[in-house]
Amino acid sequence: MSEDKALEPWQWADQQWQKLVNRVRAGRALRPARWKDNARCAVALSFDSDHETNELRDGGKSIGRLGWGQFGSRVGVPRILKVLERHDVRASFYVPAVSALLHPDEQRRVVADGHEIGIHGWIHELNSALPRDAERELMMRSADTLERIAGVRPVGLRTPSWDFSPHTLAIEREMGLIYDSSLMADEDCYELLLDGEPAGVIELPVEWVRDDAVYFMMHRFQSLRPYTPPADVLDVFRREFDAAYEAGGLFQLTMHPHVIGYRSRIWILEEIIRHARSKPDVWFGTHAEVVDWAKRHAA
Ligand SMILES: [Zn+2]
């Protein structure tokens, strides 16, 4: 890869940019004609329980920001679980291993309530910044830690910050993971290709548009501020759902307990569930269930 540095991108030989682009690619789209229970549309809700790792991941030591992370576990998750229970919805929670070690009872409750727990790194590290061996070891240690705490072996990975290294997919394949949920090449589930060949791992795609953090995050000492009112965030999510319902596709959302879990925002979750439930033929599944269905029933 030394030629990367030697040459500017406009000087690259065709094979150089081709190799980069083709390392991980979307293959066959997996959209079933009907979803489970003959549903027209599938809804996959997810929550990234980053909690204190939101601060720890960059080596931060702010007591204040760690307290904010604790809010995610102390108030955010119970509030979310209550809404999900009220509407009989099962969802997926992606949990950094350090977060699970800090809050083991939370993970056990999430599983006891029927939800899925997936891998979300060790301490919310960026995969692309790691040597391959460190990434592999952390991913395996994270899976073992979640299994030990929650009692269920995770089958899916959401990379922290959706950051994907050139090695991530090969490691997922080696670990026998069924799916990934970190990439955004489509709105339907799709097969992931590694250097042009199906890797045997299915992508359940995410999108910044369908992520609460994009609209609500704030940093006291940087210029980052929330810029979208909660009602407008619901409007974006609802339009995403309505179009997915029209198309007979998949509606996926990513939320964070320390972001959506506030009194002025939690209603967005409740409202989008109510809206989806108001239509006939909508199936709510965990990410693992949605992937499993899409894989077995793709047209
Ligand atoms: Zn995260």
- Nearest-angstrom CA–CA distance, 13 and 25: 20
Q: What is the pLDDT of residues 87-144, one digit of tens each?
A: 999 999 999 999 999 999 999 999 999 999 999 999 999 999 999 999 999 999 999 9
- Whether 154 contacts 119, CB under 8 Å: yes
pLDDT more than 90, % of the chain = 96
- Average pLDDT of the segment spanning 38-45: 98
- Average pLDDT of the segment spanning 242-248: 97
Report the pLDDT value the prediction gives residue 3, as an integer from 0 to 100: 52
Rounded distance from Cα 128 to ligand 1 centre (Å): 15
Report the pLDDT value the prediction gives residue 220, as an integer from 0 to 100: 86
Rounded distance from Cα 295 to ligand 1 centre (Å): 26
Given a cut of 80, is residue 4 above it in pLDDT?
Answer: no
Rounded distance from Cα 90 to ligand 1 centre (Å): 19
- Nearest-angstrom CA–CA distance, 105 and 101: 9
Which ranges of 151-202 does DSSP label H, i.e. alpha helix? 168-175
- Whether 162 contacts 125, CB under 8 Å: no
DSSP helix, strand, coil percent of the chain (3-state; round to 5) = 50, 20, 30
- Whether 208 contacts 231, CB under 8 Å: no
Nearest to 163 by CA among 221, 120, 112: 120
Cα 32 to the center of its chain, rounded Å: 21
Kindly indicate the confidence band of residue 242, based on its pLDDT and cuts at 50, 70 and 90.
very high
Around ion ligand 1, which residues have CB less than 5 A away? Answer: 48, 50
Report the pLDDT value the prediction gives residue 150, as an integer from 0 to 100: 98
Q: State the pTM of this model.
A: 0.96
Phi, psi torsion values for 39, nearest 5 degrees:
-75, 155
- Average pLDDT of the segment spanning 53-82: 96
Report the pLDDT value the prediction gives residue 2, as an integer from 0 to 100: 52
Report the pLDDT value the prediction gives residue 62, as an integer from 0 to 100: 94
Given a cut of 90, is residue 5 above it in pLDDT?
Answer: no
Rounded distance from Cα 47 to ligand 1 centre (Å): 9
Q: How far is CA 219 from CA 16, 175, 223, 225, in A?
A: 38, 36, 7, 7
